[in-house]
Amino acid sequence: MLPEIKGLNEECGIFGVWGHQDAAQLTYYGLHSLQHRGQEGTGIVVSDRKTLKGMKGEGLVSEVFNTNTIKELVGDAAIGHVRYATAGGGGYENVQPLLFHSQTGSLALAHNGNLVNANSLKHQLEGQGSIFQTSSDTEVLAHLIRRSGYSHLNDQVKNALSMLKGAYAYLIMTENELMVALDPHGLRPLSLGCLGDAYVVASETCAFDVVGAEYIRDIMPGELLIINDKGLTSERFAMSTTRAICTMEYIYFSRPDSNIQGINVHTARKNMGKQLAMEAPIEADVVTGVPDSSISAAIGYAEAAGIPYEMGLIKNKYVGRTFIQPSQSLREQGVKMKLSAVRGVVEGKRVVMVDDSIVRGTTSRRIVTLLKEAGATEVHVVISSPPIKNPCFYGIDTSSKEELIASDKSVEQIRELIGADSLTFISVEGMMRALGQEGTNGYCLGCFTGNYPTEIYPDTLQYYYQK
């Protein structure tokens, strides 16, 4: 096992502002709206054009920052980060943005994604004398930038980015510039907006709505966007690019009020539900969705099937997301604390229960049991993603192959294990149709099909398959 890779397995959210006097405050609100992407740590770095100053901590945005601490972050440019990390990958030192000071100036970095060649690069850099302060792959970029032989920062950054493989959306800030970079496959969403004369950048467009910013466009795969007082400059650090955005962003990760590549996430999920109603027509009395990420798909299923949508499951909103918590025991405990079945809705009823995914199967089994204990006579499970058979190497914690229930079990075997009366997963074609696509071009489907958009390095493979 390669312990350093553990810390690389993360899904995060990033937010940046250039040219606004309330940069830290806007970043606080932006990060708050991206909190679903990571709850284990958060930080903000500001530039007052003379120096960079940062503050970070473990916990939620509202736990780490308050009115007084935000007031201390003076400057008209800022970048911020919310972090999710698996067990062993947490710790204060890994909370971002990472901030580096040197004689030539300061550099702050915030990263969403996962590099698949981080270990190879780390070994190479350590061989050249680099000393790493964190176990996060984000730091690799800082060392590559500083070791680049180029004299201008833009060239140093472009050269460093061209050596990275995997998924990355980066915000890189110096005293005088904010740089925004997206990997050549554009695996993670990243959008540009404006607020008056200021520019904002965020992992999801829901953050623009919160701060009152206007969406301009998505960052392009392989693009390095440089924002400074002269305006915007778009450069490319990769000539060969093929968009392969993560389909799980639409299914599970992003907020329903976000738009990715012009597609509203709620609408995409609703379409997936409608598609499932065609693929899995079921005689039932009520349709319910597992809150929150499956409600849109459940509404779509109910609408297309002509079966009433009901709130058969209630979520305790003050408990963190199941998928986000690091250990199996915490995940199982989380489900018990988080969800309740509404007896008055499901008792004596045949229930269609819509969920977004089955990862290990334990959560689905627990929810089916909850509904049956509350008196449901039948529970038919429909899933708005295809079976997850393979791990994700690009920053979403779908676990090792052995932990994925669909990796070696048939749909019928999974149905039996979760105790459902029937089980249907959306087909890959159906999912693409729900996204308005005929083929699979432009999307990553690695965890469903095993076809990944990038080369996967042997040490990374070893970790994910033997974890």
User: Would you name the residues annotated as active-site residues?
Assistant: 12
Min dist. Cβ of residue 195 to ligand SF4 (A) = 30
C-alpha 448/C-alpha 458 separation (Å) is 20
User: Can you tell me which residue has the tokens 């493989």?
Assistant: 165
**CA separation for the pair 227, 179 (Å, rounded):** 6
Q: Is 18 or 394 the residue whose CB approaches ligand SF4 more closely?
A: 394
Backbone angles phi, psi at 425, to 5 degrees: -105, 145
Task: Classify residue 229 as exposed, middle or buried by CB count within 10 Å of its CB (0-12, 13-18, 19+).
Answer: exposed
- Applying CB under 6 A, which of residues 5, 182, 248, 414 lies at the interface with ligand SF4? 248
**CB of residue 463 vs ligand SF4: minimum separation in angstroms?**
15
**444 makes contact with ligand SF4 (CB under 6 A):** yes
Figure out which of the listed residues 110, 187, 374, 420 binds ligand SF4, where binding follows CB under 6 A.
187
Burial status of residue 408 (CB atoms within 10 A of its CB: 0-12, 13-18, 19 or more): exposed
Residue 247 makes contact with ligand SF4 by CB under 6 A: yes
User: Within 445-464, which residues bind ligand SF4 (CB under 6 A)?
Assistant: 445-447
Which of 55, 144, 157, 246 binds ligand SF4 (CB under 6 A)? It is: 246
CA dihedral 401, 182, 135, 465 (to 10 degrees): 10
End-to-end CA distance of the chain: 7
Beta bridge partners of 111: 170
| In the complex, least distance from residue 289 CB atom to ligand SF4, rounded to whole angstroms | 21
Which single residue is written with the structure tokens 């680049």? 148
Q: How far is the CB of 244 from ligand SF4 (least distance, A)?
A: 7
Judging by beta carbons within 10 Å of its beta carbon (0-12, 13-18, 19+), is residue 128 exposed, middle or buried? Answer: exposed
- Asked whether the beta carbons of 258 and 206 are under 8 A apart, the reply is yes
Q: Tell me if residue 173 falls in helix, strand or coil.
A: strand
Among 116, 298, 396, 431, binds ligand SF4 (CB under 6 A): 396
Contact status: 434 vs ligand SF4 (CB under 6 A) = no
How many chain residues touch ligand SF4 (CB under 6 A)?
A: 12
| Helix or strand run (H / E) with residue 64 | helix 61-64
For position 405 contacting ligand SF4 by CB under 6 A, the verdict is no
Can residue 426 be called a binding residue for ligand SF4 (CB under 6 A)? Answer: no
- Residues 15, 394, 425, 464: which binds ligand SF4 (CB under 6 A)? 394
Q: x/- binding map, residues 194-213, to ligand SF4, per CB under 6 A?
A: --------------------
Binding mask 354-393 for ligand SF4 (x = CB under 6 A): --------------------------------------x-
Binding site for ligand SF4 (CB under 6 A): 187, 246-248, 392, 394, 396, 398, 444-447
